[in-house]
Structure 1
Amino acid sequence: MKPFFVSFFLFLSYSAAAIVVTPGEWDFGTIESDGGLVSQVVQILNNSEREITVTLISTCGCLTVAPAMLKLQAGESGAVTFFFDPVYEKGRVEKDMIILTTQPGVPKTLFLVRGEVLEARDGKKGGAAEESPAALAAGRVVQLQFYYSPGCKSCLRFLKHSIPELEKKLNLKIEVAPFDILNPEVYEDFHARLANLGVEEKAFPALFVGGVLLQGDREIAAKLEGELLAFAQGNGQDQPGVAAIEPGHREQIGVELAVLPILLAGLLDGVNPCAFTTLIFLISSLALAGRSRRETLYIGIFFTTAVFLTYYLIGLGLFQGLRAASVFPIIALIIKWALIGALLLLSGLSLYDYFIVRSGKSSEVVLQLPRFFKLKIHGTIRKRVRTTALIGSSLMLGVLVSIFELACTGQVYFPVIVYLVRLGNDPRAYLYLLLYNSSFIVPLLLVFLLIYFGINSGVIVSFFQRSIKLVKLGLAFLFLTLSVITFLI
């Protein structure tokens, strides 16, 4: 009698809820307990005049469904797949799947799943059994859109560990397009997709599997596997009316434009009057100390190595700190506009210095090393160039000079670091930091090589003095370019 009453109840409920479920129930027949999963595709039609959301909840661990939620427009139908696992069942089986809708005033309805499970016979599996969901989905490619903030540790664990584990378990190829939710344009796109689905923002991270949205770590962990299986088998829900967002579209603008400005920034900072004047003083001091060309080259190599490592480690620390702070939207916004303002100011001051140098008043430029730091650097150089501990002294000299010079070279370096933070969670940002510092030491190495091969230091000094105004003009253009790119990303 139960099947009759359940079917009658279903008929009344579906009519009231204005949904039509086909078939009205699922009889999987007679199967053996070791025969594996059996499945049934069920169509659900929204027969009402309004959009509804259908949620399916199993009453038994042996009965699962994917996807567990459908959003249907008026007159639209969607497919779900039921899976029944007979391994722990025996005899006559009757299980219910609860069907809920957002139709006002409509109670929950029940979908009946029934059949008979026989004890397994050795060496034989039931012929009615079908392949497992993982086998049905094997080899498919599923694309996900993942919205998260760069400082979210659970998000990084999800990308690094959970996705590979799911790929291995389900035999799927999962392609994840990450989106930095702190980027205002990305956040705007995300809300456009929410509006199209008719749902509200609940939690981050958020994940789209086709047209299905999962929000928060807990919901993603609970439902992602089922949604992946359903989507890979072609039963997943596509999102109507929303064009797919290109993965990392806006972040790629900054990444693609990053290489050349960073390369130029490093080179220009390397011939920045702050750094180059110190280098010339070092070479002159080595000559006065009676150092040979070979010794000068060795000192130059160790000095340059220390400069590179010191600058890179300082930059890495600042980069990590600013990236961690940028997980807060208000801080990320402040960083962006503060950087744009600083870059425009530095561009203007560099242009001003260009005209000052052009008028023959190089000592009056604004962007130069303060006198206090100049005296500190010169005193350190005089002390270190005469010591007999060549390697240790050269390394220490490089570290100390780098720290003192930051008061001036930081005018280029710090904006570049903040600019790299604005690139989001792209791992290439670390490579760009290496690129900047490698470019920065190129002029240092070149000068030491020229001295080693017999070029007089006076020739180098003369060339530098003639080039100051071009360096200042180049810095003005560089700062302006970085400000424009920062505005775009």
Structure 2
Amino acid sequence: MKKLSFVMMTMIILTLFVSSTSHIVQAEDNEETEKKVVYFYSPTCSGCQTVKPYVDSLPVKGITLIKYDITDHTQNNYKLLRSYNASYYVPEDEGTVPIIFVGDTYVSGVDDIIQSIETDGEQSIYELAKEDLKDIQVIDFDIEGLGFWGFLTIVFSGLLDGFNPCAIAMLLLFISLLGFTDKRKTLIAVSVTYISALYLTYFALGTILFRFIRQYQSQIMYLSTIITWIVIILALSLFVFSLYDFIVSKNEEYAKIKLQLPKTIQKFNKKLIKYFTRVFDEQSNISLIPILLLTFLLGFIISLTEFLCTGQIYLPIIIGLVQFGESTLLATLMLVIYNLMFVLPLIVIAVVSIKSKSVLLTSNWVRENLHRIKLFNAIFFLLIAIFFIVTNFIL
């Protein structure tokens, strides 16, 4: 009996020891297995603002949250996002912010992220985080951000902006400027100076806006949804007005065109052109250098007065460069290309006008094709609205 009691006591002690040991091991395993998720976002992304309270609640559930702002160029976070996308085999249309990498999978898009955080099933963030994150090797991509199609968008947008209805007035003003002299060399010099002034002014304005928006985007992150809606409403409004202008210009009812510079700015530009041409005419013996300086000043002033209208296409492009996390160097290159395409119509007009010695021919061509220009603008503004709707509220 004593032996039996001894055996039973021994078994009870061993059972308690094994049970307590297993709990210790399990506790140690839980401590060693840290649940981590990696979250990529952008301060200017409205979808990121929607999921922000849900994502910020993850640490409360015992999950270590690692956040990367893709617009932080000091850390190359956009390059890191592309490396994660490559390692997790994320399709191109899903590899945008907001996106969470957890375990051996990923969750992208506003609805899917919110559902994965709120659900308690196997597809919940908490359950998926039990798996370790994949090892990521940062890839040194040659082309970042917008990619090839983005590059084509920059090229097409710049060219389209060069034929912007408001820029048409600038083209015609430029044509009238070429009529003050018959000297071929002077015409070429004035053309190059005028176009250079336009190019440098618009490039400088684009660079300043890009740097300003990127620098203060964290401060305006809570306004991103409002800004997005403003861009969408503005683009749709411009689409409607451009479509209307297409109809009236096709019927040669040019007085009914809606999208054009305010009358006060038009009068100011006309007076400015007349003043400069009168100076050139009265000072027939004036040397070339003063003429070029005055021409450059004219181009600079015209650029500022026209920017209110030509910026309708330019500003969404600049915002896109910020949202896609472009580096300063690459964004600068994109602005160089955009503005080269923007002044291309001016270059063509200058060449045609100088060779034909007739500004009337070029002016008539612009007027005859105005309805086509209006139609292309309408299509562009519609695509801008669709792009912002899809990227901010659907994907």
Sort the TM-score into its range (normalised by shorter chain): 0.5 to 0.7
- Give the 5 Å matches for 1:193-232: 196-198=124-126, 211-212=132-133
Alignment-derived partner of residue 188 in structure 2: 297
Q: Give the TM-score normalised by the residue count of structure 2.
A: 0.65
- In structure 2, the residue corresponding to 1:55 is in which secondary structure? helix
Alignment-derived partner of residue 480 in structure 1: 382
C-alpha distance in 2, partners of 1:10/1:395?
Answer: 90
C-alpha distance in 2, partners of 1:197/1:347?
Answer: 42
State whether residues 149 and 182 of structure 1, in contact with CA within 8 Å, keep that contact through their aligned partners in structure 2: no
Q: Deviations over 1:283-336 (max 9, x none)?
A: 32332x325222111111121111111112212222333334543543222222
C-alpha distance in 2, partners of 1:257/1:146?
Answer: 31
- Give the 5 Å matches for 1:86-165: 147-152=67-72, 156-159=73-76
Alignment-derived partner of residue 131 in structure 1: none
C-alpha distance in 1, partners of 2:233/2:343?
Answer: 28
C-alpha distance in 1, partners of 2:172/2:17?
Answer: 90
Higher helix share: 2
Q: Shift of the alpha carbon at 1:407?
A: 2.6
- The AA in structure 2 aligned to 1:410 is G
- In structure 1, the residue corresponding to 2:230 is in which secondary structure? helix
State whether residues 260 and 309 of structure 2, in contact with CA within 8 Å, keep that contact through their aligned partners in structure 1: yes
Q: Deviations over 1:64-89 (max 9, x none)?
A: xxxxx4459xxxxxxxxxxxxxxxxx
State whether residues 147 and 179 of structure 1, in contact with CA within 8 Å, keep that contact through their aligned partners in structure 2: no
State whether residues 261 and 478 of structure 1, in contact with CA within 8 Å, keep that contact through their aligned partners in structure 2: no
C-alpha distance in 1, partners of 2:260/2:71?
Answer: 36
CA 1:476–1:400 in 2, change beyond 3 Å: closer, same or farther?
Answer: same
Aligned counterpart for 1:334 among listed residues 217, 226, 231: 226
State whether residues 97 and 108 of structure 2, in contact with CA within 8 Å, keep that contact through their aligned partners in structure 1: no
Q: Shift of the alpha carbon at 1:409?
A: 1.7
- The AA in structure 1 aligned to 2:362 is I
CA 1:265–1:16 in 2, change beyond 3 Å: closer, same or farther?
Answer: closer
Alignment-derived partner of residue 311 in structure 1: 202
C-alpha distance in 2, partners of 1:323/1:71?
Answer: 33
State whether residues 312 and 433 of structure 1, in contact with CA within 8 Å, keep that contact through their aligned partners in structure 2: yes
Identity, % of aligned pairs? 23
The number of equivalent residue pairs is 311
Aligned counterpart for 1:466 among listed residues 368, 389, 393: 368
Larger of the two Rg values belongs to structure: 1
C-alpha distance in 1, partners of 2:227/2:108?
Answer: 16
- In structure 2, the residue corresponding to 1:148 is in which secondary structure? strand
CA 1:295–1:148 in 2, change beyond 3 Å: closer, same or farther?
Answer: same
Alignment-derived partner of residue 112 in structure 1: none
Alignment-derived partner of residue 271 in structure 1: 163
Larger RCO, structures 1/2 (Cα 8 Å, 6+ apart)? 2
Q: Shift of the alpha carbon at 1:471?
A: 0.4
Q: Give the TM-score normalised by the residue count of structure 1.
A: 0.54
Q: Deviations over 1:389-441 (max 9, x none)?
A: 133222212111100111322233233333444x4313354443333211110
Aligned counterpart for 1:384 among listed residues 276, 298, 303: 276
Answering whether residue 259 of structure 2 is matched by residue 359 of structure 1, we say no
State whether residues 195 and 346 of structure 2, in contact with CA within 8 Å, keep that contact through their aligned partners in structure 1: yes
Alignment-derived partner of residue 342 in structure 2: 440
C-alpha distance in 2, partners of 1:71/1:279?
Answer: 61
State whether residues 150 and 323 of structure 1, in contact with CA within 8 Å, keep that contact through their aligned partners in structure 2: no
C-alpha distance in 1, partners of 2:245/2:217?
Answer: 33
Q: Shift of the alpha carbon at 1:465?
A: 0.9
C-alpha distance in 1, partners of 2:75/2:193?
Answer: 42
What are the ranges of 5 or more consecutive residues in structure 1 without an aligned counterpart?
1-8, 22-43, 45-53, 57-68, 73-101, 104-144, 164-173, 200-207, 213-226, 233-247
State whether residues 159 and 344 of structure 2, in contact with CA within 8 Å, keep that contact through their aligned partners in structure 1: yes
- In structure 2, the residue corresponding to 1:198 is in which secondary structure? helix
- Quick check: 312-321 or 438-447, which moved more? 312-321
Answering whether residue 62 of structure 2 is matched by residue 55 of structure 1, we say no
- The AA in structure 2 aligned to 1:295 is T
Alignment-derived partner of residue 14 in structure 1: 21
C-alpha distance in 1, partners of 2:17/2:224?
Answer: 53
Alignment-derived partner of residue 49 in structure 2: none
CA 1:260–1:20 in 2, change beyond 3 Å: closer, same or farther?
Answer: closer
CA 1:467–1:458 in 2, change beyond 3 Å: closer, same or farther?
Answer: same
C-alpha distance in 2, partners of 1:272/1:300?
Answer: 20
CA 1:364–1:312 in 2, change beyond 3 Å: closer, same or farther?
Answer: same
State whether residues 116 and 125 of structure 2, in contact with CA within 8 Å, keep that contact through their aligned partners in structure 1: yes
State whether residues 178 and 191 of structure 2, in contact with CA within 8 Å, keep that contact through their aligned partners in structure 1: no
CA 1:470–1:197 in 2, change beyond 3 Å: closer, same or farther?
Answer: closer
C-alpha distance in 1, partners of 2:345/2:308?
Answer: 19
C-alpha distance in 2, partners of 1:455/1:363?
Answer: 29
Answering whether residue 295 of structure 2 is matched by residue 394 of structure 1, we say yes
- The AA in structure 1 aligned to 2:385 is S
CA 1:438–1:262 in 2, change beyond 3 Å: closer, same or farther?
Answer: same
